[in-house]
A and B are shown apart, each in its own frame.
Chain A
Amino acid sequence: METLVPSGTDGPEARLAREIARSAAGEAREAEGQLYRLLAPRVRRYGLRHLRDGHAAADLVQQVLTLTIEQLRAGAVREPDRVLSFVLGTCRMTLMDQRRTDLRRQQLLERHAESISVADIHEAPRLDHQRVADCMDRLPERERSVLVLSFYDDQPSEAVGAQLGMSSGNVRVIRHRGLHKLRRCVQATGTPR
């Protein structure tokens, strides 16, 4: 599996990280803000994938990026060029920490939250549910049922198949077909708000 889109040491993240690292602490506010805006949606997605909660994901963004910028300022990131690896590692460590205790998070926020300008955090688009419902109406019965049972409570194919008398493989085929039809229909009838 290809794991990383090439951005390497020449990407905008690396350029901004280098600028922050070589500046006196707090003197690269513009670069810090840009780096925050660039990475915030990515860390939020990591949080959503692992925490399944929008508020917890937003907390993770603030926590991880506050620490990242603080470490860059202090020259404590050994390879600023590899800031993405640093951020991903921090996400993983933070989640492990969170599972043990919330104390560290509170301390970090209390120490640094006010000293770093928090850029606007990217939020995922939302769709008009009536438009989604109209598009679901156009799906064949099996695709509609499979999509609803899959998305409501995020159930894997085996659980959905057990409820509808289908094999897991059959559910995946139907789900794949239905998801693409639903996506095309929603895209054709409007843009996310």
Chain B
Amino acid sequence: VNPHAGHLSLELLLQDWLGETEPQVRDAIDTHLMACDACGALFDELLALGQGVREALRTGAVTMVASADLLARLAAQGMQVREYRLSHNGSVNCTLAPQDEVLAARMEAPLQGVRRLDLVHAISLAPGVEHRAEDVPFDPAAGELVVLTSVGRTRPLPAHTSELRLLAVEDGGNRELGRYTFHHQPWSG
């Protein structure tokens, strides 16, 4: 609560929505929302943002570092998940079927002791161009990095090769942790 304005904050509404607040706080928010349309509108906005994020994921519009748990839940909820597992420094022939809704790569990597991880992506369709994602989240104990790739952007692409490099960023510079190659072919039926 912002004590000066007497209104609820977006963060508090989100914490409450995610079940992180105590019962007495929850009751107080109920009471406040029953009387305050300004905070009600903020709550509506929060739900709309959440719905937008979920729809963006469900429609394959998001590229992100994810988790094995998320993949399992997507599959359990009936989504068509195409998952490629790569061993350390591995490569794979891959494609995307018309019914696929989620495209995921699970790359084994020695992540123990790594403090910051960067992900560098290069694609044969744009020679010499690299995209670097800095400070990606990872669980060192998982021993793998899970990346979801936007289905919407991948589906129209012709045959190509993508390369992902994992870099540990250390005081002395970068240390390559792994290099993974994806030989993509459009769906041939």
Given contacts A142-B135, A142-B136, A145-B137, contact A5 B32 (CB under 8 A): yes
B25 contacts the other chain (CB 8 A): yes
Residues in A51-92 with C-beta less than 8 Å from chain B: 84, 87-88, 91-92
Closest chain-A Cβ to B121's Cβ sits at a distance in Å of: 12
Minimum CB distance partner of A50 in chain B:
B30
**B94 interfacial contact with A, CB 8 Å:** no
Which parts of A90-140 form the interface with B (CB within 8 Å)? Answer: 91-92, 124-133, 136-137, 140
B125 close to chain A: CB less than 8 A? no
A45-B44, A148-B53, A183-B49 are contacts. A156–B134 as well, Cβ < 8 Å?
A: no
Which listed residue (A3, A49, A172) contacts B16, Cβ 8 A? A49
Q: Which residues of B contact A25 (CB under 8 A)?
A: none
Rounded to whole angstroms, the CA-CA distance of A88 and B26 in the bound complex is 13
Overall SS of chain A's interface = helix
User: Is the Cβ of A180 less than 8 Å from the Cβ of B45?
Assistant: no
Assuming the A-B contacts A125-B48, A133-B62, A179-B49, are A49 and B18 also in contact, with contact meaning beta carbons closer than 8 angstroms in the complex? no
Q: Is the CB of A152 within 8 A of B141?
A: no
Residues A186 and B52 in contact in the complex (CB < 8 Å), given A1-B1, A176-B11: yes
Q: Are A132 and B28 in contact (CB under 8 A)?
A: no
Instruction: Give A144's nearest chain B residue, CB to CB.
Output: B64
Q: Which of B33, B48, B55, B69 contacts A46 (CB 8 A)?
A: B33
Q: In the complex, which residues of chain B have a beta carbon less than 8 angstroms from the beta carbon of A124?
A: 44, 47-48
CA distance A11 to B36 in the complex (A): 11
Residues of B contacting A182 with CB < 8 Å? 49, 53
Measured between C-beta atoms, what is the minimum distance from B30 to chain A in Å?
6
The answer on a CB contact under 8 Å between B35 and A149 is no
Q: Residue on A with the closest CB to B26?
A: A49
B97 smallest CB distance to A (angstroms): 22
CB under 8 Å from chain B, chain A span 150-193: 150-157, 162-166, 172, 175-176, 179-180, 182-183, 186, 192
State whether B64 touches A141 (Cβ < 8 A).
yes
CB atoms of B61 and A130 under 8 A apart: yes
CA of A58 to CA of B3, assembled, Å: 32
Question: A2 at the A/B interface (Cβ < 8 Å)?
Answer: yes
The interface size bin for chain A is 35 or more
Max chain A Cβ within 10 angstroms of own Cβ: one of B43, B65, B73, B137: B137
Cβ A4 vs Cβ B70 within 8 A: no
> Mask for B106-125, Cβ within 8 A of A = 1, else 0?
00000000000001000000
Report how far A14 CA is from B39 CA in the complex, Å.
20
Taken together as a complex, chains A and B put the C-alpha atoms of A68 and B64 apart, in Å, by 48
Give B7's nearest chain A residue, CB to CB: A5
B56 on the interface (CB 8 Å rule)? yes
7 A-B pairs with least C-beta separation = A132-B52, A165-B139, A129-B55, A133-B61, A163-B67, A133-B56, A127-B52
B residues sitting closer than 8 Å to A (CB atoms) are 1, 3, 6-7, 10-11, 14-20, 25, 28-40, 43-45, 47-57, 59, 61-70, 73, 119, 133-142
User: Residues on A close to B: CB < 8 A?
Assistant: 1-5, 7, 11, 41-42, 45-46, 48-49, 84, 87-88, 91-92, 124-133, 136-137, 140-142, 144-157, 162-166, 172, 175-176, 179-180, 182-183, 186, 192
